[in-house]
Amino acid sequence: MATIPVVVKHQGTKYDIEVDPDSTGDVFKFQLYSLTGVEPERQKVLVKGGQLKDDAPMSKFGFKPGQTIMMLGTPGKAGQDVLARPTEKIKFVEDMTEAEAAQQEGAIPAGLLNLGNTCYLNSTLQTLRAIPELQDALVKYEPSAAPSASLSLSPPLDLTKQLRELYKYMSETQEAYVPHAFLTALRTSFPQFAERSRTGHGFAQQDAEEAWSQIVTQLRQKLRVKDAAAAADAETSFIDKYMSGEFTSELECDEPAAKEGGEQPVTSKETFLKLNCHIDASTNHLRDGIANGLSEKLEKRSEVLGRDATYTKTSKISRLPKYLTVHFVRFFWKRETQKKAKIMRKVTFPHELDLVEFCDDKLKGMLVPVRDKVREVRKDEEDIERARKRRKRNASGEDAADIPGGKGAKDEKKDYKKKAGTSADGDVEMGETYKTDAEIDAERDAALLAAKKELNALIDPELAKDDGANQSGLYELRGVVTHQGASADSGHYTAYVKKSAPVDAKTGKRKDEDGKWWWFNDDKVSEVTADKIEALAGGGESHSALILLYRAIPLPSAEGVIE
């Protein structure tokens, strides 16, 4: 149906507006909001038969072209802000530099050009780039002066410096970038990545996990950050602070004769930079593979027995890093083919990983109260959101029976206050005053804020000092390196990185994440939904997860705010 031009008069000003007879009153009010700045809930639009209701069909009023309609109401603070003159000059995308455009909300991140079997490196670099603290530390990195060219790499071949430059250039463009300088530095530092293809054409394909480990090892040696838990000027390795954990291990001889002879279990501590998920015929889930990796059999000499014996090494985690790397051990050396063959078995992994069960008793005691409170707060948040949706649907006239949890659920309106009144004969009687939706929401929000403050108070003081550690035992998945093919020496690597929440330009606060992911396939970058990640569990030659990057879930501050 064609639109009808009408005139709306508000505070002495006339506005020409097109009415769509197929729309409803709330649509018309939003049109007026865009012109006057008066929020829809503060508008009184006078039409035939009284005041315009939100759900009223506009066709029933029989508007004539040029008809004048009266509107009453003044804008609230939010509406006044809408009409305020911008403090900064508006800059359109076509007027921005390439670097400015790359920083805008919704900008597609830069891909990396494949320089000939370098997908293993591209996928590794894209996933490591998902660590914002790493990018911040690299910006401040300056190579130390080499005492002698023969003893150290010259600055241009410093792998950490080249990573800093690479990420800087990638942040300033949406076009595919050529990582030639970084690749040269990598092959100079680690000649195995300069191996030529057996077919004689270009360079050989490499294992992404080896590239990841070598880059992390270099960063551990070179990149340093301030250590908040130590003295004011003390520094520590970035990797040790944010990406390394600690095992407490016990080595014990399996033979009873050794124990009877007085041999005691040996306890030791060791640092780990990744958790291995060992895959065998019984491994179906990431948890199974991690459990397999924390217990191993060793052959070593027993001084008590005077010969070699079998020992069991059992490890428990005594420190969890903020960023956890998990490696699916899918490749093994196949003697018959002289190649690294791939274990195709399907192994599922969660978007949220709970590692509390693998921790030693001391760390477990610190983490369990926080983890359980996190789950309690989440349930409260879900209940509040569900109640708000239920009220909104009820207000729109939907039957409670059509709403999940609506029929038989507690009616929020039954929260009420007693109010004293006076009857006709002068006696005092008690009446009922129901709480408004706003009052109910305010009370629940206040209770939720208090719960978040309680959650912060549960963080162990020792853990609270270590801002590079996980303080709850819970992790959220942020990146995945995948491999497609039957062996490490062939096939194709890609990376999936979860989209970060954009920052509000006005408030500087982060908005909510949309749950989607970037898929980096060398120079091609596309947006995918979370269900795509579920398909990376393996089970064939299609893309399967090789490396997972998890990040500790964010916890509220002492004020109850989550950054």
Q: Which residues are catalytic?
A: 119, 492
- Which DSSP string do the residues of 356-367 spell out, in sequence order? GGGB-HHHHHHH
Gap between the Cα atoms of 315 and 293, Å rounded: 9
Alpha-carbon dihedral 525, 527, 528, 533, rounded to 10 degrees: 50
What's the length of the chain?
563
**What's the Rg (C-alpha) of the chain?**
31
Instruction: Provide the 3-class DSSP secondary structure of residue 424.
Output: coil
At 109, which amino acid appears? P
Residue 96 DSSP class:
S
Pick from 16, 49, 2: nearest CA to 25:
49
- Tokens of residue 556, six digits: 């509220």
* CB contact burial 227-253 (16+ within 10 A = b; e otherwise): beeeeeeeebbbbbbbbbbbbbbebeb
Q: Which residue has tokens 């838990």?
A: 229
* Residue 532 backbone dihedrals phi, psi, to 5 degrees: -65, -35
Q: What angle do CA 513, 518, 521 make, to 5 degrees?
A: 175
Instruction: Provide the 3-class DSSP secondary structure of residue 533.
Output: helix
